[in-house]
Amino acid sequence: MEKIIGLIDAPFTPFYDNAEVNYEPIPAYAAMLAKNGLKGVFINGSSGEGYMLTEDERMKLAEAWIKAAPKGFKVIVHVGSCCVKSSHILAEHAHAIGAWGIGAMAPPFPKIGRVEELVNYCEEIAAGAPNLPFYYYHIPAFNGAFLPMVKFLEAVDGRIPNFAGIKYTYESLYEYNQCRMYKGGKFDMLHGQDETILPSLAQGGAQGGIGGTTNYNGNNLVGIIEAWKEGDIEKARELQNFSQDVINVICHYRGNIIGGKRIMKLIGLDLGKNRTPFQNMTDEEEAAMKNELEAINFFERCNKF
């Protein structure tokens, strides 16, 4: 099964002022991401407010992204849901419209507390698109599924034929590397934390990743990998440290889903506000965030259209 090389973006979902989905910016959005070195998108996940979208909206977004995708640009569809039957339907739809792959995080309710429960959940979803790569999205801070991922790989190995790997969004670089080394690197371990790309490269195996700050800082994050490959460790460090500076700013404004989405407006692509129950930024917060970004010369270095 093909392994992903390079960085995949986790895009935001555009909304109108009335909170209806706005599909119009997606072609320009896709073109901008590709121009800045991103290799595809993982849509309808946490950055995309996927759990606040209807089944129909998620399908229409998938169709819009696939239609807009440049040649060779991968579209992976997050199909996770609290209703596994909905997930199965979304997986079938993703396959029917030509998605490159599918993925799912553990549901926020009911909380999954055992590896076997998680395997059962993934197995039923993956069966909806048996010919597409299926990725488990490990982000326990969102759903409380603090489960051992090496044990998960052992349990899923040979049981789900189209299981491709894990989008690993957690702080344990040790566990990430243990998963990466499982059976000589059998599964695709996609690094999911933009703040630690360089140390994961130094461990010897991060070939691909999926990020959220890649929406507006992708060229710098791609640059970390390129500098590492060229043996320029000092440049890689500078780019990683700058990327952490950007993350430090958005952490002052409720993180990437809220603060990061508003940055898109500041760089020229207004994707609207967040859907309820997210607490949107005020105009005063936006101005303060802009000042913080200007202080680190972000707008000279951010993604360009």
Q: How many CB atoms lie within 10 A of CB 194?
A: 25
Q: Find all residues with CB under 8 Å of 244, minimum gap 6, and list them.
A: 195
**Contact present, 162 and 126 (Cβ < 8 Å):** yes
What pLDDT score was predicted for residue 15? 98
Catalytic residue among 121, 137, 176, 216: 137
pLDDT of residue 203: 85
Contact 133, 8 (CB under 8 A): no
pLDDT at 205: 67
Model pLDDT for residues 110-164, shown as the tens digit of each residue: 999 999 999 999 999 999 999 999 999 999 999 999 999 999 999 999 999 999 9
Where do the H-state alpha helices sit in 203-302? 214-229, 233-250, 255, 261-266, 283-295, 298-301
Catalytic-role residue among 39, 74, 136, 167 = 167
pLDDT in tens, the chain (305 residues): 899 999 999 999 999 999 999 999 999 999 999 999 999 999 999 999 999 999 999 999 999 999 999 999 999 999 999 999 999 999 999 999 999 999 999 999 999 999 999 999 999 999 999 999 999 999 999 999 999 999 999 999 999 999 999 999 999 999 999 999 999 999 999 999 999 999 999 987 678 999 999 999 999 999 999 999 999 999 999 999 999 999 999 999 999 999 999 999 999 999 999 999 999 999 999 999 999 999 999 999 999 99
Rg (CA), the chain: 18
Token match 């970390």: residue? 224
- 152-184 tens-digit pLDDT: 999 999 999 999 999 999 999 999 999 999 999
Domains defined along the chain, listed by start: 6-232 (3.20.20.70)
Look at residue 76 in the predicted model and tell me its pLDDT. 98
Q: Is 167 a catalytic site residue?
A: yes
Q: Has this prediction a pTM greater than 0.85?
A: yes
Buried b (16+ CB within 10 A) or exposed e, 28-40: ebbebbbebbbbb
CB atoms inside a 10 Å sphere around CB 5: 10
For Cα atoms 138, 97, 8, give the angle at the middle one, nearest 5 degrees. Answer: 40
The confidence score (pLDDT) of residue 292 equals 98
The phi and psi torsions of 150 (rounded to 5 degrees) equal -65, -40
137 in active site: yes
